[in-house]
């Protein structure tokens, strides 16, 4: 009986120690939306939606109920360029941090609309859909006007049952992101090029996802050295497995180490094969998943800076 009570007490403390108004989550949410804005701004609409593939329609179909909620289906009479402008405006509102409880729903809708319609997905669009889905529930207790402002004190009176839903959604996101990395690492083991260490040699020389011209000579030279190619290939799989494990840890320093590993991994992916939109989606998703660990570590680092906070008021909490 006492053991069960201790478990319940520990679970209750864990739920109420989670901060859905974390500055870490705010930065990541804005980062996700901004990365989508950049994708839409830097890519002409015909290259995103009007690419015929195996005789399929150039844009998403609107034949089923779930498909019909897409912005491209609702505004089907408008051109893709006009709809893209509307998406950019909506994502800028999300980036601003305005009314996070409600704009999180807008963010999910726009992310789904894009993922449903884009002709050449890179994986980041799908990641954005499930991350923004969980953000809707994580943001339920967040009734601030702006997600950059100082949060209210957490209490059962103010947050109520929303706190438990928010906590559960955050854990679901952590598990989902950890699964992506673990599955990616394990799946590579069954591929001969990855297991023998030559995968990156062929990937960087690929026709579709290859190294940018200004880095080609350097990357081609690196991957032509067998020991380097082997280290990079196996290092990628090991880092993915490590990131998966750290996201399920309760220790702040371990979660922070996982986030740093994620940044290093995806910076490397950008350098070697591009797909920066996918990289940003993963980095900011991991940032949200690791927010409970990143917060305390950031507070400790800031407390050790040589200057002090302004005496006019307390800074908004990071964690």
Task: Please count the structural domains in the chain.
Answer: 2
Asked if 160 contacts 272 with a C-beta cutoff of 8 angstroms, the reply is no
Q: Are 131 and 115 in contact (CB under 8 A)?
A: no
For 66-100, what is each residue's pLDDT tens digit? 777 888 888 888 888 898 999 999 999 999 999 99
* Domain housing 74: 16-147
What's residue 308's pLDDT? 55
| Lookup result for tokens 């699964």 | 179
In this structure, is residue 284 part of a structural domain? yes
The residues, ordered by sequence, that sit 6+ positions from 242 with a Cβ below 8 Å of its Cβ are: 258, 261
- Residue 314 forms part of a structural domain: no
Mean pLDDT of 6-21: 85
Burial 66-98 (b: 16+ CB within 10 A, else e): eeeebbbbeeeeeebeebbeebbebbebbbebb
Q: Are residues 98 and 22 in the same domain?
A: yes
Q: Are residues 133 and 177 in the same domain?
A: no
Q: Report H helices in 190-275.
A: 192-195, 199-203, 213-224, 226-247, 252-273
Is the predicted pLDDT of residue 30 greater than 90, yes or no?
Answer: yes
Q: Is the pTM of this model over 0.85?
A: yes
What's the mean pLDDT when you consider all of the chain?
Answer: 85
DSSP state, residue 49: H
The span from the CA of 156 to the CA of 171, in Å, is: 20
Query: Is residue 318 domain-resident?
Result: no
Per the structure block, which two tokens stand in for 239?
């880092």
């Amino acid at each position: 009986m006492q053991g069960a009570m201790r478990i319940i007490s520990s679970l209750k403390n864990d739920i109420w120690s989670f901060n859905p108004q974390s500055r870490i989550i705010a930065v990541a949410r804005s980062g996700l939306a901004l990365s989508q804005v950049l994708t839409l701004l830097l890519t002409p609409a015909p290259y995103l939606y009007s690419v015929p593939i195996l005789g399929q329609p150039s844009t998403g179909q609107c034949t089923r109920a779930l498909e019909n909620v897409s912005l491209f289906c609702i505004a089907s009479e408008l051109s893709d360029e006009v709809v893209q402008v509307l998406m950019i405006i909506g994502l800028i509102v999300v980036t601003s941090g305005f009314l996070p409880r409600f704009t999180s729903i807008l963010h999910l809708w726009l992310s789904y609309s894009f993922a449903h319609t884009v002709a050449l997905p890179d994986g980041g669009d799908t990641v954005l859909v499930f991350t923004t889905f969980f953000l809707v529930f994580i943001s339920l207790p967040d009734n601030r006007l702006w997600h950059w402002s100082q949060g209210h004190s957490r209490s059962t009176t103010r947050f109520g049952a929303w706190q438990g839903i928010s906590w559960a959604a955050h854990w679901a996101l952590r598990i989902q992101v950890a699964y992506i990395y673990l599955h990616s690492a394990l799946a590579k083991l069954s591929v001969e090029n990855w297991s023998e260490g030559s995968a990156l040699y062929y990937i960087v020389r690929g026709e579709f996802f290859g190294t940018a011209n200004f880095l080609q000579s350097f990357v081609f030279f690196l991957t032509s050295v067998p020991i380097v190619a082997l280290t990079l290939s196996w290092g990628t799989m090991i880092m993915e497995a490590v990131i998966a494990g750290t996201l399920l840890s309760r220790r702040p320093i371990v979660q922070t180490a996982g986030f740093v590993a994620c940044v290093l991994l995806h910076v490397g992916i950008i350098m070697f094969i591009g797909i920066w939109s996918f990289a940003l989606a993963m980095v900011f998703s991991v940032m949200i998943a690791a927010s409970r660990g990143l917060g305390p570590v950031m507070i400790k680092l800031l407390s050790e800076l040589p200057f002090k906070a302004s005496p006019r008021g307390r800074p908004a909490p990071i964690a």
